[in-house]
A and B are shown apart, each in its own frame.
Chain A
Amino acid sequence: MDRRKFLKLAAISATLAGGVPGFFNREVKAKAYTPPPGALTARRWGMAIDIKKCWEHPECNDCIKACHYIHNVPHIPDRKREVKWIWKDEFEHVFPDKPNEFNNILLAHKPFLLLCNHCEHPPCVRVCPTQATFKREDGIVMMDYHRCIGCRFCMAACPFGARSFNWVDPRPYIEHFNPEFPTRMKGVVEKCLFCYERLEKGQIPACVEACKHKALIFGDLEDENSEISRLLRSRFSIRRKAELGTGPSVFYLIG
């Protein structure tokens, strides 16, 4: 039984057994969750993307392929309806506030890797009316597909375009089906979840594992000895739209 299912069952039985007190306790239970032995844990998960390494291999899309395969992300050709968890876009679109018309030779039209930033103060969580989007204590911004009502408020609130909505049934668009991860239904929102399901099993995120050039670094931002913390201290990095105050946990190493 996975964690969510367990929590649901627990909540239902608690509500049945305890009546009203059980109803109010439910949230407390969700927080009291302890990861299974062997799980990777952190106080705040984050990712650094060594963008220069990425540029050395412009044809490489291993991270995207691995993520989208493992999570049954459908391949919908219609750009207006597509679902994506991790993808590439050019500098001007990723950092719309940063272009410099006099000196953009370095970065103009350069591809950047995009995914949910697992913000420290995520507006998507703030607006969600059902707590289908919630932030875990380790910083991962989660999605509960079973609770999402599909109001798409979170999409309006996310300033990074990180969320996709299933406008139609996604299942026919899954190219290679992975039975180990649930598929989604029409009418719910989805996005990158920092591979919470792999962390539980002691594995690093699929994109990080798939990158043979070691361009993706995943780790605990609050642990000063972690590789990511050391990198962020020693190299120049930027974050998307940091001025909005959402506190993205994804960093782009450019210097």
Chain B
Amino acid sequence: MTLTPQRHILMVFPHPDDEAFSSAGLIRLYRNMGVPVTYACLTLGEMGRNLGNPPFATRESLPEIRRKELLKACEAMGIEDLRMMGFRDKTVEFEDDEKMVKLVQDLIDEVNPSLIITFYPNYSVHPDHEATARAVVEAVRRMPKEKRPVVYGVAFANNTVAEIGEPDVVIDISSVKEDKLKTLLAHNSQTAWMIEENNKRVDEGQPMSDSWFHYEKFYTITFDEE
């Protein structure tokens, strides 16, 4: 698929690295075209479990590490407008729902995006992902139909394809795969295990599925009209 022209892209994800796995390639392609991107990252992934053995971090030092990783990842994607929203990992679903919708509304009002990238409700596995997706979808649903930006949802629950079919947006990102790899590596505290797994697989003759570095796939979220 070819990229549709965009005025401004708003990404809303709860954890540093969510964007790297799902959409770093797409973002890099748009940045190469000069499209402005705002990334609202709700938490600093404070509750990440990967501390290493021997440990490289503590529960208390992890957020600062992940803040630096996030900045580095944004550099790799070419994102100049990063917003760290100050929520705490694993608590997003317990926040006041209206407050979360308002937060997204305010971002939309400010940056006037033509495309929003977030998770797809009910198919994004982690409670923080689901809460983020619900807030974004609700904020856009409340907008007049003609003013709504397009919303791409990232879905990876085990039952996704069985229930909602294949993603309708498939972007070939092979021309920027080095940048995507760089973005993933920037989130070292979360992705080191993955790289290690891959090295193991290479040793066993089955390298990491190349698809991560070939395609990024999204579902265009539709809104029921009342």
On whether the two chains bind one another, the answer is no
Interface residues of B (CB under 8 A from A): none
Chain A residues proximal to chain B, CB less than 8 Å: none
